[in-house]
Structure 1
Amino acid sequence: MRRSTFLRTLAALSATGALPFSAWAAADIKTMIPANPGGGWDATGRALGKALQEAGVASSVSYDNKGGASGTIGLAQFVNSSKRDPNAIIMTGATMVGGIIASKQASQLQAATPLVRLMSEYQVFVLPTSSPFKTMKDVVEQMKKDPGSVKWGGGSRGTTEHIAAVMIAREAGVDPTKVNYVAFRGGGEAVSSILGGNVTVGGSGYTEFGEYIKAGKMRAIAVTSDTRLKGIDAPTLKEQGLNVVIGNWRGVHGAPDITPDQRKALIDGIVKATKTRAWQQAVEQNGWTPALLTGDEFGKFVEDEFASLRATMAKAGMI
């Protein structure tokens, strides 16, 4: 068979979902990262891409960063341009769900195909080491005196760090609508603003702040987990009298309208990738908590997340 004929045959089989997994693995995997470079979504997407290649699932992986509006800009582009593409994936997570709720827009996430929840990551709040404040108590006391004087920096509105900041205010007896939250399009922008003293306190996953904490440029003052996190020398908010626990999950969705066989191939490939050394190293280095959930179970989890986050945000006065 001539090479050109062979390639056309492969393309036809792929379009019908008839390709075996090994043939699908030879394709380029196109990853939409709905955030600017340097943040948690970016780190997760690129770590997954490396693991997919190490696992032999993909011969190559390309990335498209499209930041803004808690990932919903990238989501809209993905849903509209990737229909029935069995090799297209998008990174998703609690931040995206929160952004959809906060913006009161229709959820395009329902059009994408739920594949795998990869892990969860709690938030860490940091101060630049040059800050006159040393603890979360210092930050809260200042917020009680003058809520607007404390600038909370983080991702787009509706992210878990935004929700956590509003919950902290509510727990401290401060009107949550008075929280001065400064939203950034990506982790890189947030880091620069924190180090430059343009915001009072920053919030995000350890992925964004880890190297700066280790280098002594940032001081971790609180984590949003129920118990202390391994490798992070910071107390929980609960330890500091603030009953706030909130985490961020990250997962992967496929394109709209792919076939059941194509969906299964993607799920199997991603699960295989999570067993590689590359992925395990990323999990350890970034302080992620594995939370594998696949297929319809993951889809049901996302539906429940919409209800849960909507209730949390309503209680915090965000919607």
Structure 2
Amino acid sequence: MKVTRVTAAAAVTVALVALSACSDTNDTSSGDKPKAGDKKSQAKSLNRLEIIAPAAPGSGWDQTARAVQDVMRAGSLVKAPEVKNVPGASGTVALAQVAPQKGKEEVWIASGLAMMSGVISNGTDVTLDDLTPLARLVGEYEVIVTPKDSPYKSVEDLFKAIKKDPKSVAIAGGSAGSADHIYIGLLAKHFGVKPADVNYVPYSGGGEATTAILGGKVQAGISGLSEFSAQVKEGKMKGLLISSEKPVEGVEFAQTGADVNKDLAFQNWRSMMAPADISDAVKAQYVDTLTKMHDSQGWKDALAKNAWNDNFIAGDEFGTWLKEENTRVQGVLDELGLSKK
């Protein structure tokens, strides 16, 4: 793929998640076969379902997978949903396990921006093209936190210290090339710091990063809002920045992304996918099941509980968006010097 150089502001812009809502469609496939995502098709309850969370317990992917599990079970959409954690390398370890299982049913894998960037930054042989897109579920703001007794009162203070002595400021985050890593890189560029100079310490799950921050092993941490919100609310961590355009109700941060620069508003996204080469009928059933889940009160409650943004799109619409997003993310990682593809 041709490498495209972009400015720091443009890099931020292309990294933003498109927040278009899932539009209804009245199109039907040829014959009587329902089109994936068509509101007219009727999803039958699945007997069992293995949901792969491609990160450790406590991570955003784990939380998303378990929320799907809980709502599916409570709504009788799946009789026996189970979550399996397969952490490592921005989700690409799990991807490498699922991708070869072409045509296998009753298996979903949580995916998202981190896995997409992990494929590009790690140069893996398998990509998201080796899966079947089902639905984009949620978007989540990135947050930057410090231990409660940290001397840093703003993200400017943090990056001023990094610029002075990069090795003295360790920042805990997700795997290399993850959404956490991308956003730190974009902030670094904004503050005149080379992204490669940031002392970024990758962890496979939010639980490990939380322990490192609370234990004083690092000077700051970055992750999705849901992973650190409880600690910020309880005063165990200090919230420096949330990557939203406006303050988010219920949790206090010193700044929003837009406070720093309007182009620094940013969202991570997470989705559900299945192995490649499943039948059209099975894909339609999966998409309809996820659509029913999305429309349920249980899912609305899960969104509120985890402070997730409802960015649902499904079926072919999601597949088209996914290709566009991959091009955008490739450009960002090229600019940050993290691309191996």
Same fold, judged at TM 0.5 (above): yes
Equivalent position SS for 1:219 = strand
Deviation of 1:253 after TM superposition, in Å, equals: 0.3
Contact 2:142-2:267 at 8 Å conserved across structures: yes
Structure 1 counterpart of 2:320 = 300
The code of the aligned residue for 1:207 comes to: S
CA–CA distance in structure 2, aligned partners of residues 242 and 295 of structure 1: 32
The code of the aligned residue for 2:99 comes to: V
CA–CA distance in structure 2, aligned partners of residues 184 and 76 of structure 1: 19
Residue segments in structure 2 that go unaligned for 5+ positions in a row: 1-40
Q: Deviations over 1:150-202 (max 9, x none)?
A: 11111001111111111111111112221111000111111101111111110
Q: 252, 275, 278: which is aligned to 2:298?
A: 278
Structure 2 counterpart of 1:5 = none
Deviation of 1:260 after TM superposition, in Å, equals: 0.3
CA–CA distance in structure 2, aligned partners of residues 317 and 238 of structure 1: 25
Deviation of 1:276 after TM superposition, in Å, equals: 2.2
Structure 1 counterpart of 2:268 = 248
Q: Deviations over 1:224-266 (max 9, x none)?
A: 2233333332221331358523211111001221100000000
Residue segments in structure 1 that go unaligned for 5+ positions in a row: 1-19
When the two structures are superposed, what TM-score results if normalisation uses the length of structure 2? Answer: 0.83
CA–CA distance in structure 2, aligned partners of residues 175 and 110 of structure 1: 32
Deviation of 1:73 after TM superposition, in Å, equals: 0.3
Contact 2:96-2:126 at 8 Å conserved across structures: no
2:203 paired with 1:184: yes
CA–CA distance in structure 2, aligned partners of residues 253 and 126 of structure 1: 31
2:258 paired with 1:214: no
CA–CA distance in structure 2, aligned partners of residues 315 and 262 of structure 1: 39
Paired residues for 1:37-52 under 5 Å: 37-52=57-72
Equivalent position SS for 1:233 = coil
What is the aligned length? 298
Q: Deviations over 1:133-160 (max 9, x none)?
A: 2221221111121122111111001111
Paired residues for 1:47-86 under 5 Å: 47-80=67-100, 82-86=101-105
2:234 paired with 1:232: no
* CA RMSD of superposed structures (Å): 1.7
CA–CA distance in structure 1, aligned partners of residues 261 and 268 of structure 2: 22
Q: 123, 130, 133: which is aligned to 1:104?
A: 123
Q: Sort the Cα spacing of 1:297 and 1:107 in 2 relative to 1 into closer, same or farther, 3 A.
A: farther
CA–CA distance in structure 1, aligned partners of residues 304 and 155 of structure 2: 26
**Which structure is higher in RCO with an 8 Å CA cutoff and minimum separation 6?**
2
User: Which one has the bigger helix percentage?
Assistant: 1
Residue identity (%): 34
Segment drifting more, 289-298 vs 307-316: 307-316
Q: Deviations over 1:255-313 (max 9, x none)?
A: 22110000000010111112222211110011111011111111111111111011112
Contact 1:47-1:278 at 8 Å conserved across structures: no
Structure 2 counterpart of 1:17 = none
Structure 2 counterpart of 1:10 = none
Of structures 1 and 2, the larger Rg is shown by 1
The code of the aligned residue for 1:314 comes to: D
CA–CA distance in structure 1, aligned partners of residues 227 and 195 of structure 2: 26
Deviation of 1:54 after TM superposition, in Å, equals: 2.0
Deviation of 1:130 after TM superposition, in Å, equals: 2.3
Q: Sort the Cα spacing of 1:242 and 1:289 in 2 relative to 1 into closer, same or farther, 3 A.
A: closer
Deviation of 1:107 after TM superposition, in Å, equals: 3.7
Equivalent position SS for 2:83 = strand
CA–CA distance in structure 1, aligned partners of residues 279 and 124 of structure 2: 27
Contact 1:168-1:242 at 8 Å conserved across structures: no
Paired residues for 1:143-182 under 5 Å: 143-182=162-201
Structure 2 counterpart of 1:269 = 289
Q: Sort the Cα spacing of 1:98 and 1:224 in 2 relative to 1 into closer, same or farther, 3 A.
A: same
Contact 2:133-2:273 at 8 Å conserved across structures: yes
CA–CA distance in structure 1, aligned partners of residues 206 and 172 of structure 2: 10
Q: Deviations over 1:2-58 (max 9, x none)?
A: xxxxxxxxxxxxxxxxxx966x51411111111111111011101011111222211
